[in-house]
Amino acid sequence: MYADVIVDIASERVDRVFVYAVPEKYAATFCPGTRVRVPFGFREKEGYILRMRESTDFDPARIREIISPMEDYPAIPENLIALAEEVRADSHCPLCEALRLMIPSEMRGERIRVKTETCLRVTFPPQDAEKMIAEQSRSWRRKLILTALSDGLEHPLEEIRSLIKNWSEPVEQLARLGLIERHEREVFRNPWHGETEHSGDPELTAEQQDALVELIPALHRGKGETFLLHGVTGSGKTEVFVRLVRQALQMGKSAVILVPEIALTPQMTRYFHSRFGEELAVLHSRLTAGERFDEWRRIRFGKARIVVGARSAIFAPVRDPGVFIIDEEHETTYLSDHFPQYDARRIAEKRAVREGAAVVLASATPSIATYARARRGDFTLIEMPHRVLDRPLPRITVTDMREELRLGNRSIFSEALKTELRECLSRGEQAMLFMNRRGYAPFVNCRKCGESIRCRVCDVTMTYHATDGRLHCHYCGGSEPMPERCPSCQSPYIRTCGIGTQKVEEEVRNLFGAACVRMDNDTTASRDAHEKLLNRFRTGEAQVLIGTQMIAKGHDFPSVTLVGAVLADSTLNLPDYRSAERTFQLLVQVAGRAGRGEKEGHVIIQTYQPEHYAIRAAEKQDYRLFFNEEFTRRKRDLYPPFTQMDRVLFEGADQQKVRDECAAAEERIRAYLQEKDDLRRRVLFIRSDDAPISRIQNRYRAQVLIKMIDLPVMEPLLQFVQEMVSERENTANGQVTASFEMNPVSLA
CA dihedral 481, 482, 483, 489 (to 10 degrees): 130
Identify whether residues 259 and 364 lie together within a single domain: yes
Q: Count of CB atoms within 10 A of residue 285's CB? A: 10
Residues ≥6 apart with Cβ < 8 Å to 436 = 548, 549, 567, 570, 571, 586
- Tens of pLDDT along 168-215? 899 999 999 999 999 888 888 888 765 555 667 899 999 999 999 999
Identify whether residues 24 and 164 lie together within a single domain: no
Identify whether residues 373 and 243 lie together within a single domain: yes
Identify whether residues 226 and 369 lie together within a single domain: yes
* pLDDT average, residue stretch 482-507: 91
Helix (H) or strand (E) holding 466: none
- Residue 461 located in a structural domain: no
Q: How many angstroms separate the CA atoms of 457 and 332, rounded?
A: 27
Reference 472, options 502, 510, 508; nearest CA is 502
Asked whether the predicted pLDDT for residue 74 surpasses 80, the reply is yes
CATH number, domain containing residue 714: 3.30.70.600
Of the residues 388, 418, 450, the one at which a domain ends: 388
Strand partners, 464: 441, 471
For 257, phi and psi rounded to 5 degrees?
-120, 120
Asked whether the predicted pLDDT for residue 575 surpasses 90, the reply is no
How many Å is the Cα radius of gyration of the chain? Answer: 30
Q: How confident is the model at residue 556 (pLDDT cuts 50, 70, 90)?
A: confident
pLDDT of residue 196: 58
Q: Compute the C-alpha angle 88/91/95, nearest 5°.
A: 25
Asked whether the predicted pLDDT for residue 591 surpasses 70, the reply is yes
Q: Count of CB atoms within 10 A of residue 233's CB? A: 25
Q: How many angstroms separate the CA atoms of 316 and 301, rounded?
A: 12
Identify whether residues 171 and 248 lie together within a single domain: no
Give the DSSP letter string of 116-166.
Answer: EEEEEEESS-GGGHHHHHHTTTT-HHHHHHHHHHTTSS-EEHHHHHHH-SS
- Give the residue numbers spanning the domain of 44: 2-110
Reference 248, options 359, 352, 303, 323; nearest CA is 323
- Residue 451 located in a structural domain: no
Please list, residue by residue across 694-712, b when 16 or more beta carbons sit within 10 angstroms of its beta carbon and e when fewer do: bbbeebbbbbbbbbbeebe
Q: How many angstroms separate the CA atoms of 435 and 567, rounded?
A: 6
- Residue 474 located in a structural domain: no
Q: How many angstroms separate the CA atoms of 672 and 679, rounded?
A: 10
Asked whether the predicted pLDDT for residue 620 surpasses 70, the reply is yes
pLDDT of residue 336: 87
Provide the mean pLDDT of the chain. Answer: 92
Of the residues 613, 636, 659, the one at which a domain ends: 636
Question: How far is residue 332 from each of residues 265, 369, 514, measured CA to CA in Å?
Answer: 17, 12, 34
- Tens of pLDDT along 218-271? 999 999 999 999 999 999 999 999 999 999 999 999 999 999 988 778 788 888
Of the residues 155, 186, 217, the one at which a domain ends: 186
Quote the DSSP letter at residue 559.
T
Q: How many residues does the chain have?
A: 748
Q: How many angstroms separate the CA atoms of 361 and 693, rounded?
A: 33
Residues ≥6 apart with Cβ < 8 Å to 390 = none
- Tens of pLDDT along 691-734? 999 999 999 999 999 999 977 888 899 889 988 887 776 655 56
pLDDT of residue 91: 82
Q: What residue type is assigned to position 725 of the chain?
A: V
pLDDT of residue 730: 60
Q: How confident is the model at residue 689 (pLDDT cuts 50, 70, 90)?
A: very high
Identify whether residues 134 and 49 lie together within a single domain: no
Identify whether residues 617 and 700 lie together within a single domain: no
- Tens of pLDDT along 513-539? 999 999 998 998 887 888 889 999 999
Q: How confident is the model at residue 61 (pLDDT cuts 50, 70, 90)?
A: confident
- Tens of pLDDT along 490-500? 999 988 888 99
pLDDT of residue 30: 95
| DSSP collapsed to 3 states, 662-703 | HHHHHHHHHHHHHCCHHHHCCEEEEEEEEEEEEEECCEEEEE
- Residue 166 located in a structural domain: yes
Q: How many angstroms separate the CA atoms of 662 and 704, rounded?
A: 6
Identify whether residues 568 and 693 lie together within a single domain: no
Q: Which of 287-296, 351-360, 635-644 has the highest mean pLDDT?
A: 351-360
Reference 491, options 441, 452, 449; nearest CA is 449
Q: How many angstroms separate the CA atoms of 380 and 384, rounded?
A: 13
Question: How far is residue 241 from each of residues 231, 245, 257, 432, 552, measured CA to CA in Å?
Answer: 12, 6, 8, 26, 20
Identify whether residues 599 and 518 lie together within a single domain: yes
Asked whether the predicted pLDDT for residue 316 surpasses 90, the reply is yes
Number of domains in the chain: 5
- Residue 465 located in a structural domain: no
CATH number, domain containing residue 549: 3.40.50.300
pLDDT of residue 253: 97
* pLDDT average, residue stretch 133-161: 89
Please list, residue by residue across 529-565, b when 16 or more beta carbons sit within 10 angstroms of its beta carbon and e when fewer do: ebbebbeebbeeebbbbbbbbbbbbbbebebbbbbbb
Strand partners, 441: 464
- Tens of pLDDT along 328-373? 999 999 998 777 889 999 999 999 999 999 999 999 999 999 999 9
Q: How confident is the model at residue 110 (pLDDT cuts 50, 70, 90)?
A: confident
Identify whether residues 278 and 408 lie together within a single domain: no
Q: What residue type is assigned to position 61 of the chain?
A: A
Contact 64, 33 (CB under 8 A): no
User: Strand, helix or coil at 287?
Assistant: coil
Strand partners, 507: none
CATH number, domain containing residue 54: 3.40.1440.60
Contact 244, 216 (CB under 8 A): yes
Q: How many angstroms separate the CA atoms of 17 and 5, rounded?
A: 5
pLDDT of residue 137: 82
- Residue 483 located in a structural domain: no
| DSSP collapsed to 3 states, 49-94 | EEEEECCCCCCHHHCCECCEECCCCCCCCHHHHHHHHHHHHHHCCC
- Residue 700 located in a structural domain: yes
Q: How many angstroms separate the CA atoms of 27 and 3, rounded?
A: 10
pLDDT of residue 194: 58
- pTM for the whole structure: 0.89
Cα(first)–Cα(last) distance of the chain, in Å?
52
Q: Compute the C-alpha angle 706/712/713, nearest 5°.
A: 75
Q: How many angstroms separate the CA atoms of 297 and 318, rounded?
A: 10
Identify whether residues 632 and 648 lie together within a single domain: no
Residues ≥6 apart with Cβ < 8 Å to 509 = 516
Identify whether residues 245 and 319 lie together within a single domain: yes
What does DSSP say about strands 280-283 and 321-327: parallel, antiparallel, or unpaired?
unpaired
Contact 706, 649 (CB under 8 A): no
- Residue 154 located in a structural domain: yes
pLDDT of residue 725: 86
Strand partners, 118: 184
Q: How many angstroms separate the CA atoms of 446 and 449, rounded?
A: 6
How many CA atoms are closer than 13 Å to the CA of 355, on its beta-carbon side?
A: 29
User: Strand, helix or coil at 38?
Assistant: strand
